[in-house]
Amino acid sequence: MKTSPETSQLLKVLPNDDILQQCIHCGMCLATCPTYDLTKLERSSPRGRIRMIRSVARNEMELSELFAEEMNFCLDCQACETACPAGVKYGRMVEAARVLIDEAGLTPKFQVFIKRFALRKIIASRFWLKFFSRLLWLYQKSGMQKLIRATGILKLFSKNLPEIEKLSPPIANHFSDSKIKEIELPNGEIKFKTAFHFGCLMNTMFADINIDTIDVLKKVGCKIITPKDQVCCGSLMAHNGDMEFALNLARKNIDVFFKYDYDFLISNSAGCGAFMKDYAHLLEDDSEYASKAKLFSSKVKDIMEFFAEQKSELNFQSISKLELKPELEIITYHDACHLVHAQKISSQPREVIKSIPGVKYIELEEASWCCGSAGIYNVVRYDDAIIQLQRKMKNIRNTGAKIVLTGNPGCMGQIKYGAEKFDVDVEVLHPVTLIKKLLS
Ligand code: SF4
Ligand code: SF4
């Protein structure tokens, strides 16, 4: 096959073109695709995008703005992978295509700024992420936020900025890595040797969930190693076309965790867990890291996956202990895309939640439909994301639940914002927060 320099690059990222042959064009994925559902255009469907990627790889189609737009319009939710009978790894293709789009200068400037500055310089740096989180905390607590909102000044910069500003969750006044010791021990016998990846956003913006996670792990008999020099998992960078940067973070994490003896590496963030499970595949051609990555990934467990496997260790008290109003005992669950589609974890969280005595569990319609958060999608494509969020909030409202549980920081922030924007009376919690309150 004749390939242009750009095409070679696409194949290098993929890393061969077998993956492009797998799609049998059956269309089974179409009904699950949020962007196809919006436009009903073939090019906005997984099948259409795969055709375009294959055409670009074969030099039959130019790298164009239309191609870039369709790749960026995709939420990378991977619902199409769950629906696909041929096992097509669509997510790898679209992420490879985004690398190419970036290198060809076809990514919108705002997105480039977010990727190169926010993701590389802030999210990937513990120091700068903490620094900016502190500034955000000050902004929220000092009254400045109220003032800025009241003046409507942000509208002068961009029509969506006042809404994007509201996406930030309330920042805790502490970071979890300063509260969690490098080695935490259970009160009784050590039943499991675990390690913990505390994430970047979870560490700074959802610090209490990390602390709850450690408390619950201790209660079920885990020794927990939390290396202080661990780094961001790299998922946000990889999903946004910055794969080399992401892989360097992966190598650093492998080196850091390799120094310790543990059986399970626990993650409470769906996006981080999914990406760390994928290190094995992503580094399979790296002679120095391939076998270490395989071992590293084999130990990664989402916290709810771990709890479902160790359910006999979870000794729940009835939810009535919390003395909630009866309607607060009605609980529903939203599947984070990177848990249900990327990690295929769907029954496990439900099993655990339903085993809590007294919980009235209501299944959420379209529970695995993306909420629109999708990494940084809700920031860089606010108008498209809000359509998905509105649909999600309508379904949540219809359950009558007053608590919605979900296992990813992006989804939590997005649904909290949605509850306010669309006036849905619901509290958004990570399952581990509820579990902590109810374990005896
Ligand atoms: S990842 Fe999601 S939005 Fe993208 S093509 Fe697949 S189903 Fe559609
Ligand atoms: S991606 Fe899978 S489900 Fe979609 S058209 Fe191709 S083979 Fe069928």
| Residue owning the nearest CA to atom 4 of ligand 1 | 74
Query: Ligand 2 centre from 68 Cα, in Å?
Result: 21
Per-residue confidence (pLDDT) for residue 322, from 0 to 100: 66
| Residue owning the nearest CA to atom 7 of ligand 1 | 33
| Residue owning the nearest CA to atom 8 of ligand 1 | 33
Reported as a single tens digit per residue, the pLDDT across 264-323 is: 999 999 999 999 999 999 999 899 999 999 999 999 999 999 999 988 887 777 777 666
The span from the CA of 57 to the CA of 120, in Å, is 28
Q: How many CB atoms lie within 10 A of CB 279?
A: 28
Within the chain, which residues score under 50 in pLDDT?
1-8
DSSP string of 339-401, one letter each residue: HHTSS---HHHHHHHHTSTT-EE-PPTTTTS--S-TTTHHHHTHHHHHHHHHHHHHHHHHHT-
User: What lines the ligand 2 site, CB under 6 Å?
Assistant: 23-29, 46-47, 50, 80, 83-84, 86, 88, 90
Q: What residue ranges of the chain are covered by domains with CATH 3.40.50?
A: 315-438
Ligand with an atom nearest the CA of residue 21: 2
Q: What residue ranges of the chain are covered by domains with CATH 1.20.1050?
A: 176-309
Residue that the structure tokens 């306010």 belong to: 420
Q: How many CB atoms lie within 10 A of CB 295?
A: 13
| Residue owning the nearest CA to atom 4 of ligand 2 | 29
Ligand with an atom nearest the CA of residue 79: 1
Query: Ligand 1 centre from 32 Cα, in Å?
Result: 8
Query: Ligand 2 centre from 21 Cα, in Å?
Result: 11
Query: Ligand 1 centre from 85 Cα, in Å?
Result: 15
| Residue owning the nearest CA to atom 2 of ligand 1 | 77
Could you tell me the strand order of the sheet in which 403-405 lies? 360-361, 330-333, 403-405, 427-429
Per-residue confidence (pLDDT) for residue 358, from 0 to 100: 84
The model carries a pTM of 0.89
- Ligand 1 pocket check for 340: Cβ under 6 Å: no
Query: Ligand 1 centre from 278 Cα, in Å?
Result: 19
- Ligand 1 pocket check for 33: Cβ under 6 Å: yes
Reported as a single tens digit per residue, the pLDDT across 165-205 is: 888 888 888 899 999 999 999 988 999 999 999 988 889 88
Q: Which atom of ligand 2 is nearest to the CA of 47?
A: 5
Q: 5-103 domain in CATH 3.75.10.10?
A: no
- Ligand 1 pocket check for 78: Cβ under 6 Å: yes
Q: What residue ranges of the chain are covered by domains with CATH 1.10.1060.10?
A: 5-103
**CATH class of the domain whose range is 176-309:** mainly alpha
CATH number of 315-438: 3.40.50
Nearest to 259 by CA among 165, 183, 205, 202: 183
Alpha-carbon torsion, ordered 237, 239, 241, 246, to 10 deg: 40
Q: Are strands 264-267 and 427-429 parallel, antiparallel or unpaired?
A: unpaired
Q: Are strands 183-184 and 222-225 parallel, antiparallel or unpaired?
A: antiparallel
- Ligand 1 pocket check for 76: Cβ under 6 Å: yes
The span from the CA of 440 to the CA of 11, in Å, is 53
Q: Which atom of ligand 1 is nearest to the CA of 78?
A: 1
